[in-house]
A = this chain, B = another copy of it.
Amino acid sequence: MLIVMDKTASEAEIAAVVAKIEALGYTAQTIPGGERMAIGILRNPGPVDPALFIDLPGVIEAIPVSRSYKLVSREMKRENSIIVLPQGVKIGGGHFVVMAGPCAVESELQAFTIARAVKAAGAQVFRGGAFKPRTSPYSYQGLEEEGLKILARVRDEIGLPVITEAIDHYSLDLVEQYADIIQIGARNMQNFSLLRRAGQARKPVLLKRGMSATLDEFFMAAEYILAEGNTQVILCERGIRGIGAHARNTLDLAAIPYVKKESHLPIIADPSHAAGRRLLVPPLARGAVAVGADGLIIEVHHDPTHALSDGPQSLYPEQFAALMRDIQTLRPGQWL
């Protein structure tokens, strides 16, 4: 923490800041500048809240210096983390992954139809929701455990590891049993109770960035999972609140190289939820590959007109296959 004083701050005001720092048990170091005094806080075991100082007389700014996150940071672990799934699929460190499937598992026939199509096109993980977080209580809410059983059969018969979302402790207990990756959705990125529970799971966790989360907040959410002992975390950029209505959200592709610089965890992109409409999914998917994402998670449906959720942003299987071919030309996994 650095406390910046007003040019006209009195010696008494400076002394009061120093006294407060020392009252908190830290060490204060005054740093005289050209025009004004600054005061550094040393020997603080963790971050200090700037708001403790900003309204003191003579203070014009209080600037945090330390990072709040530890375990997710490259300062803690230099080399890229690589998540290894059943069937040998690897994610991160140059291993590029595509997860694809419907928004929601609707039936065994639907799931198998789509799973076969996405596998044929080259997807390595099958996605499908069994517990759906929906804006409206009147919307389709998912098949719940029956959906998880269908996912398990897809994995066993088709040979794709499966990812599905948990929305509370109850569903996480079930998802942990059936799935290969536990997804935590954007709306739950700061559901800290759920994050802790995911941290106790023995399966990898895909954590989506919240719609208005800073990357620091995103890292801190992941930190909750790692702090409970689960280091198998995959981050996912899925779009933030933007300006205008041309897309549902704004896919923040700058987040990807930034996360890769700051953290050892892999990060993938979800162009489907960011776009909200089919037209924009393939270009955003290509863009994510080209900025260096470690993978993609994409919604695909063989009959999106009748999909029970998110049909409009789901690719047709042939569009997905074309996208997979396009992606190959973009050197996925090579952009570090």
Contacts and interface: CB of A to CB of B under 8 A. Distances in A.
A254 B243 contact: no
A113 B152 CA distance: 56
A215 interface: yes
A246 B330 CA distance: 25
Interface stretch (A44-52, A82-90, A91-99, A174-182): A44-52
A223 B137 contact: yes
Contacts of A321: none
A214 to B, nearest CB: 3
B190 A215 contact: no
B52 A312 contact: yes
A213 interface: yes
Interface string A275-292: 111111001101111111
B291 A286 contact: yes
Contacts of A245: 214
Oligomeric state, in copies: 4
A46, A224, A286, A311 interface centre (most CB from chain B within 10 Å)? A286
Contacts of A214: 243-246
Query: Chain A: interface residue count, which band?
Result: 35 or more
B241 A212 contact: yes
A168 B193 contact: yes
Contacts of A45: 34
B40 A34 contact: no
Contacts of A292: 283
Contact of A284 (B31, B224, B254): B254
Contact of A66 (B35, B279, B330): B35
A129 to B, nearest CB: 13
A187 B194 CA distance: 12
A52 B276 CA distance: 10
A325 interface: no
Nearest to A221: B135
A232 B130 CA distance: 31
A243 B212 contact: yes
A4 B51 contact: no
A215 B244 contact: yes
A250 interface: yes
A254 B250 contact: yes
B305 A253 contact: no
A280 B251 contact: no
6 contacts: A187-B191, A212-B241, A213-B244, A241-B243, A290-B290, A329-B331
Closest 6 CB pairs between A and B?
Answer: A51-B312, A214-B244, A212-B212, A168-B193, A290-B290, A187-B190
